[in-house]
Amino acid sequence: MKINGPSIRVAVGAQPAGPAGPAAPPEPNPESPAAINPPIDIHDGPDGLTLEADLPGATEENLFIQLEDNVLSLHARIQPPAPEGARLLHEEYRVGDYYRSFILSDEVDRDRITAEMRNGVLRLILPRADRARTRRIEIRS
């Protein structure tokens, strides 16, 4: 998967492991060292980028999005889904907190970033800063 364009980069170490190879070391995160790296999509639109992350089990109340310097991080705390005292019989997915971070370039308008959660999917709108929008420059003869 190639990422071109200057607007956003995905932080090194945040990529998921390929199907064949062993998992990459998890993103260091002091709050939750065994956090799950959620899958994401990033797509380009006329006004900026949209980032969507699958966070099944997460709600607005337990989701923390932080922007520090140029690092945007998302962290969701997950409560175990099973009733108290239930015994796990069969496991295909691990239940745990989600964590992933991204490096934003200057072309994202940080003041206008918006987020919404719906059906376990986080959608982050990263509008392009005005000066980064394509402008037509008249050439005078």
Binder of another protein out of 52, 105, 125, 129 (CB under 8 A): 52
Q: Please identify, using beta-carbon distances, which residue of 30 and 83 lies nearer to another protein.
A: 83
Contacts of 47 (CB under 8 A, 6+ apart): 127, 128
Let me know: does 39 contact 86? Beta carbons within 8 Å: no
Q: Does 23 bind another protein (CB under 8 A)?
A: yes
Edge-first strand listing for the sheet containing 98-104: 8-10, 98-104, 71-76, 63-68
Q: Does 139 bind another protein (CB under 8 A)?
A: no
6 lies in the binding site for another protein (CB under 8 A): no
Q: Which of 101, 80, 102, 100 is nearest to 91 (CA)?
A: 80
Backbone dihedral region for residue 124 (phi beyond 0: left; psi -120 to 50: alpha; all else: beta): beta
Nearer to another protein by Cβ, of 2 and 131: the residue is 2
Give the residue, chosen from 25, 68, 69, 86, that forms a contact with another protein under the rule CB under 8 A: 86
Contact 110, 125 (CB under 8 A): no
Task: Using CB under 8 A, pick the residue from 12, 25, 43, 131 that binds another protein.
Answer: 43
Task: Determine, following the binding rule CB under 8 A, whether residue 26 of this chain makes contact with another protein.
Answer: no
Q: List interacting residues with another protein (CB under 8 A).
A: 1-5, 8, 10, 16-23, 39-45, 49-50, 52, 54-59, 81-83, 85-95, 117, 119-121
